[in-house]
Homo-oligomer: A and B are copies of this chain.
Amino acid sequence: MLVPVKGEAFKELKKVMPMIPKTAVILAAGLGTRLGGKPKGLLRVAGREILYRTIVLLKRKGVEEFVIVTNGRYAPLYREFLEKHGFEAELIINPEPEKGNGHSLHLAGDKVSGRFVLVMSDHVYSETFVERAVKGRGLIADRRPEWADAGEATKVRVKGGRVVSIGKNLGEWDAVDTGFFVLDSGIFSVTSALEEERDGDYALSEVIGRAGLEVTFVDGLPWTDVDTPEDVRRARKMLVKTAVKGAGDGFVSRHLNRKISTEISTLLVERTSPNAMTAVTFILGLLSAILSLANLPLAGILYQVSSILDGVDGEIARAQMRASKLGGYVDSLLDRYVDGSFLAFLAYSTLREPLWYAVALLALLGSVMVSYSTERFKGAFCRDAYSEIPALRKLPGKRDERVFITMLFLLYPVQTSVKALFLLLALITNLRVAITAYFISKKVSQSKTI
């Protein structure tokens, strides 16, 4: 059925429709050398094969068909990989993989028409990179590579928006080749010519140089290629660092917790599941609460440790491409219970007067309400409070800050410092809730789009 699409719907369609190529060709025929005999596309980085990442990210952006060019030795491994994940892809075998990779591209010529993505099987890309890159044209190049090793990379010289020279050892260069291209099938007239001239032995860079491809700059977004064990470590670190969500991060999280938690995540991301980390963090949090019966400074420190670890499950989940809304949901309930238990045990072990218990009850109420006030907004409006009202990010009273303050007050605990802590928490949290409600009311009243 054909339906006229107007207004907002049209804008939405225009944003996604005309630009994204439907097919991707993946070059995976190269014989891995420095990383053992395994095909590099099947190398696991942060718990996922490189090719799994590339295929899933491209699918998310709208690519539907995949053509993988590999060699006879790797083909069964790639077939097994595709089956395991339920991916549909066409496998083309390059019988002469020792020759230049230009020939591999040429072999895919029959399978594509119109615009298509060409991508290397040994490059690891972040979602933000792929999102920008699929909308580009020609060679996707990076003038400020942040994660890739520029020394080892293929460089390009660009003039008038096109490649004028390309190679690993260019004296003067403008940008680095990211291994990601958006081409159209015209490129195969270039490969056909090179097939004849070179008897099928020529590199992709020669194709690019001769075609004088357009260049799209995608600067500073996370991507890297993987050639050595050192590269694998760097790629892992990149995936963990870019997995920090951070929308609800407070001051302590940004300046302390995340720095530590991403190091821990990098260490654990190849061997732990996010759910296991959620469980460990929860148990440590409960232990810190119970410890407050015996030793307040240690309890406070353990509480802060569990708060640092609280970032790890989410980081690992996103780096492993295993993030789920359910995981976030359960994690968020458990955080509330750890906080509630900590305050309950702390009050039980330190307070004696009813008045101070009342303060503790209000501190506990406020500490849950800080989350409640933003989550209830999200439930009602299906929008993220922190994105809609950026001022909320600067407002003190988030969990990371509360836990850190709690630890500080418990380092040299006396009756007065514990009471001051409860009073401070009760004030900060409930004030924060009131201000949140005020900002939200103002925002909703002003905006007709919410």
Residues 392-450 (chain A) with a chain B CB within 8 angstroms: 433, 437, 440-441, 444-445, 450
A379 CB contact (under 8 Å) in B337, B354, B375: B375
Given contacts A2-B4, A329-B377, contact A369 B368 (CB under 8 A): yes
Residues 358-385 (chain A) with a chain B CB within 8 angstroms: 358, 360-362, 364-365, 368-369, 371-373, 375-382
Residue interface bits A226-258, CB-to-B below 8 A is 1, else 0: 000000000000000000000000000000000
Interface core residue of A326, A360, A381 (most chain B CB under 10 Å): A326
Residues of B within 8 A of A333 (CB): 369, 372-373, 376, 433, 437
Contact assessment for B440 and A376 in the assembled complex, using a CB-CB cutoff below 8 Å? no
Residues of B within 8 A of A375 (CB): 372, 375-376, 379
Q: Confirm or deny: A198 has a beta carbon within 8 angstroms of a beta carbon on chain B.
A: no
Ordered by A's residue number, 24 sampled pairs between the chains whose C-beta atoms are within 8 Å are A1-B5, A1-B10, A1-B13, A324-B444, A325-B450, A326-B380, A326-B445, A328-B380, A329-B380, A330-B441, A336-B369, A336-B372, A337-B369, A344-B361, A344-B362, A344-B365, A347-B354, A347-B357, A348-B361, A349-B354, A365-B368, A368-B368, A372-B375, A378-B380
Contact assessment for B355 and A348 in the assembled complex, using a CB-CB cutoff below 8 Å? yes
Contact assessment for B328 and A340 in the assembled complex, using a CB-CB cutoff below 8 Å? no
A interface SS class: helix
Q: Confirm or deny: A279 has a beta carbon within 8 angstroms of a beta carbon on chain B.
A: no
Residues 264-282 (chain A) with a chain B CB within 8 angstroms: none
Q: Confirm or deny: A352 has a beta carbon within 8 angstroms of a beta carbon on chain B.
A: yes
Residues of B within 8 A of A360 (CB): 357, 361
Contact assessment for B368 and A358 in the assembled complex, using a CB-CB cutoff below 8 Å? no
Given contacts A361-B344, A368-B369, A445-B326, contact A354 B351 (CB under 8 A): yes
Q: Confirm or deny: A33 has a beta carbon within 8 angstroms of a beta carbon on chain B.
A: no
Q: Confirm or deny: A129 has a beta carbon within 8 angstroms of a beta carbon on chain B.
A: no
Determine how close the nearest CB of chain B comes to the CB of A248; give it in whole angstroms. 12
13 other A-B residue contacts (CB within 8 Å) besides A325-B450, A333-B437: A2-B5, A3-B5, A3-B13, A324-B444, A325-B444, A333-B369, A340-B369, A344-B361, A344-B365, A351-B357, A376-B379, A378-B380, A382-B382
Q: Which residues of A contact B (CB under 8 A)?
A: 1-6, 10, 13, 17, 324-326, 328-330, 332-333, 336-337, 340-341, 343-345, 347-349, 351-352, 354-355, 357-358, 360-362, 364-365, 368-369, 371-373, 375-382, 433, 437, 440-441, 444-445, 450
Question: Which residue of chain B lies nearest to A380 when distances are taken between CB atoms in the complex?
Answer: B325
Q: How far is the CA of A348 from the CA of B326 in the complex (A)?
A: 38
Top 4 nearest A-B pairs (CB, nearest first) are A378-B379, A340-B365, A344-B361, A348-B358
Residues of B within 8 A of A354 (CB): 347-349, 351-352
Residues of B within 8 A of A381 (CB): 325
Question: Which residue of chain B lies nearest to A444 when distances are taken between CB atoms in the complex?
Answer: B326
Contact assessment for A365 and B337 in the assembled complex, using a CB-CB cutoff below 8 Å? yes
Q: How far is the CA of A326 from the CA of B441 in the complex (A)?
A: 7
Residues of B within 8 A of A345 (CB): 358
Question: Which residue of chain B lies nearest to A445 when distances are taken between CB atoms in the complex?
Answer: B326
Residues of B within 8 A of A351 (CB): 354, 357
Contact assessment for A440 and B380 in the assembled complex, using a CB-CB cutoff below 8 Å? no
Given contacts A344-B362, A376-B379, A379-B379, contact A440 B326 (CB under 8 A): yes
Determine how close the nearest CB of chain B comes to the CB of A381; give it in whole angstroms. 6
Q: How far is the CA of A95 from the CA of B381 in the complex (A)?
A: 49
Contact assessment for B437 and A330 in the assembled complex, using a CB-CB cutoff below 8 Å? yes
Determine how close the nearest CB of chain B comes to the CB of A49; give it in whole angstroms. 23
Question: Which residue of chain B lies nearest to A334 when distances are taken between CB atoms in the complex?
Answer: B437
